[in-house]
Chains A and B, each alone.
Chain A
Amino acid sequence: MTESPENLSIAVWRGDDSGGGYEQFDVPARQNQTVLDVVSWIQQHTDPSLTYRFACRVGMCGSCAMMVNGEPRWTCRTHVKTVLKGNRLEVGPLRNLPVIKDLATDMDPFFDKWVASEGAHHPTRTRHDPIAPVDPTEGNRVEANEGIECINCAVCYSACDTVTGNPDYLGPAALQRAWTLFNDTKDANRGAILDAVSGSGGCHNCHSQGSCSHYCPNELNPMKAIAGLKRASATRFFRRSS
């Protein structure tokens, strides 16, 4: 083990939607520090105007994702020593989203697509009915369970080059949400979900590059969920035409 240098050399993207560039900061190295710690240190000790977003600091809320050395990561759970190149680090705002300022992106397009992909429950019962039992071992439920730990951090959305090339594409997170609801046997309108993901920005645009599944900090598999939607919609396509 070599001694860690006293200072880290951190390049942080500064600017807004009209443009910007990287600015250098020196940050003291610590035995244990996350990328979010580094960004916070700069804001607290060097430049109070640095803008970024975080809330829980423990990987629950999904608000602190940034590009770290060109890869999207949840910064609160990314240890500096695992991503450091020499003693340098480059931190920027997430790709594929408009920048509000510095490291804070406008997440509206990301969440609008959750709505557009019909990521809302269609109830089968009212509040007066007894609660439907859920069998955790049943096939559809197992499939749905694989996607429900999504924290909406937009790391997958930012990693996806299909989103980059096709701004209408709903993206991995919204499509995985749709797949989760499609597998909910308590959902009353699964056809509406398939309709919502079969348009010109739908699941059929996915090229299975796999960056979503590669980078998902919770190790979910949106690529598999999207393949599930393709299969379900193709099956329905043949049923309808026969």
Chain B
Amino acid sequence: MLDIRLYMLQRITALIMAPLTLGHIAVMIYAVQGGISAEEILSRTQGSVFWFLFYGCFVVAVSLHGAIGLRVVVHETFGVIGKTLSWFTWLVAAGLMALGLYAVFAVTL
């Protein structure tokens, strides 16, 4: 249930996320040493334009990528089609983006 536009969106968001995800994993490996605390996370992220842009891009890309991925799974597994499938796709995208951007603001503002 992917035409070429959804396919391109899926691949482009994937390419954007490839370096971001590797960076994310690197930060995790670095930050988890000696345990993590809210203070430690926030001292790194708060007021940082870099981390705002990093995680902002990440959230936008992952919302679209995840929504299109779930769309395919829901179609192929449960046979959802047509308008229901479109609504599902964009609701998931909007929901993930809203939650994600709220989290980005929460840790960078």
Direct touch of chains A and B (CB < 8 A): yes
**Cross-chain contact A165 with B3 (CB below 8 angstroms):** no
Most chain B C-beta atoms within 10 Å of own C-beta, residue among A162, A165, A198, A233? A165
Among candidates A165, A200, A230, residue contacting B76 with C-beta atoms closer than 8 Å: A165
**Cross-chain contact A205 with B1 (CB below 8 angstroms):** yes
- Give min CB distance, B100 to chain A, whole Å: 26
The CA of A200 and the CA of B4, in the complex, are separated in Å by: 8
In the complex, what residues of B have CB within 8 A of residue A230's CB?
Answer: 7
The CA of A168 and the CA of B76, in the complex, are separated in Å by: 11
In the complex, what residues of B have CB within 8 A of residue A204's CB?
Answer: 2-4, 6-7
In the complex, what residues of A have CB within 8 A of residue B76's CB?
Answer: 162, 164-166
Instruction: Tell me the dominant secondary structure on chain B's binding face.
Output: helix
Among candidates B1, B8, B72, residue contacting A237 with C-beta atoms closer than 8 Å: B8
**CB-defined interface of A141-184 with B at 8 Å, one 1/0 digit per residue?**
00000000000000000000010111010000000000000000
Chain A CB within 8 A of B44 CB? no
Count of interface residues, chain B, beta-carbon cutoff 8 Å: 12
- Give min CB distance, A162 to chain B, whole Å: 7
**Cross-chain contact A166 with B1 (CB below 8 angstroms):** yes
Q: How large, as a class, is the contact surface on chain A?
A: 10 to 19
The CA of A199 and the CA of B1, in the complex, are separated in Å by: 9
CB within 8 Å of A: which B71-100 residues: 72, 75-77
Chain B CB within 8 A of A202 CB? yes
CB within 8 Å of B: which A218-234 residues: 230, 233-234
Nearest to A166 among chain B residues (CB) is B76
> Which B residues form the contact surface with A (CB < 8 A)?
1-4, 6-8, 11, 72, 75-77
